[in-house]
Chains A and B, each alone.
Chain A
């Protein structure tokens, strides 16, 4: 079954450093998402992306965050200057225009120290 692949599975970074979280969505999917889950809390929407631009972003997705689809396969989330409160599990998801189910990756656990 097709999968959404995320790398790395775990990243530890120092506060103030830039991080890039990578995702390879399912190849024929057109809509891409990032969500995050702070430990013990709800899964929260960050941003949606379609046709090479952001469709919607949440209040969490401030100027420190950016997304990019640099080629036909990768979808990245960049955090420019990480803060302690950015520590969370980050999930990438994708769907196609016909499929009502969203396929999630297994997540990247980001720890900011």
Chain B
């Protein structure tokens, strides 16, 4: 079945860029998503990308999609302490429209 994999942990210094990586297996997924989860909170949609795009930029966030390698990344420029959270990659299974989530990457931003 479909699977989404992410590295578990990333630590960066405040002001640096963060890059969170994700690989997925379903090559037919039309949409891929990044969600942010702060401690004790719900899942906040950060951005999504359509599969016919290579890149999408939204303020400090840049999403890169390599469809051939089924690799998705989220770059956060000028990372702030408020960016510390768990970031989930998800693909949409097009047959059912359900989301398949990765395990989440815990981003720790050091002052």
Chain A interface (Cβ within 8 Å of chain B)?
A: 6, 31, 33, 35, 41-45, 48, 55-56, 91, 93, 100-107
> What number of A-B contacts does a CB cutoff of 8 Å give?
52
User: Roughly how many angstroms separate A94 CA and B99 CA in the complex, as a whole number?
Assistant: 12
Contact with A along B4-48 (1 / 0, CB 8 A): 000000000000000000000000000101010000011111001
Determine whether the beta carbon of B97 is less than 8 Å from that of A48.
Answer: yes
> Contacts A33-B98, A42-B102: A91 and B42 contacting too (C-beta < 8 A)?
yes
**Closest residue on chain B to residue A104 by CB atoms:** B43
User: Roughly how many angstroms separate A20 CA and B34 CA in the complex, as a whole number?
Assistant: 29
**Closest residue on chain A to residue B98 by CB atoms:** A45
User: Roughly how many angstroms separate A45 CA and B50 CA in the complex, as a whole number?
Assistant: 21
Minimum C-beta distance from B94 to chain A (A): 11
**Closest residue on chain A to residue B45 by CB atoms:** A101
Determine whether the beta carbon of B97 is less than 8 Å from that of A91.
Answer: no
Chain B interface: which size bin? 20 to 34
Determine whether the beta carbon of A43 is less than 8 Å from that of B45.
Answer: no
Determine whether the beta carbon of B31 is less than 8 Å from that of A42.
Answer: no
Asked if B52 is an interface residue, CB under 8 A from chain A, the answer is no
Contacts of B101 in A (CB 8 A): 35, 42-44
Contacts of A55 in B (CB 8 A): 96-97
User: Roughly how many angstroms separate A35 CA and B100 CA in the complex, as a whole number?
Assistant: 10
User: Roughly how many angstroms separate A42 CA and B96 CA in the complex, as a whole number?
Assistant: 19
Contact with A along B44-77 (1 / 0, CB 8 A): 1100101000000000000000000000000000
Contacts of B48 in A (CB 8 A): 100-101
> Contacts A91-B42, A101-B48, A104-B45: A48 and B96 contacting too (C-beta < 8 A)?
yes
Determine whether the beta carbon of A91 is less than 8 Å from that of B103.
Answer: no
Contact with A along B70-107 (1 / 0, CB 8 A): 00000000000000000010101000111111111000
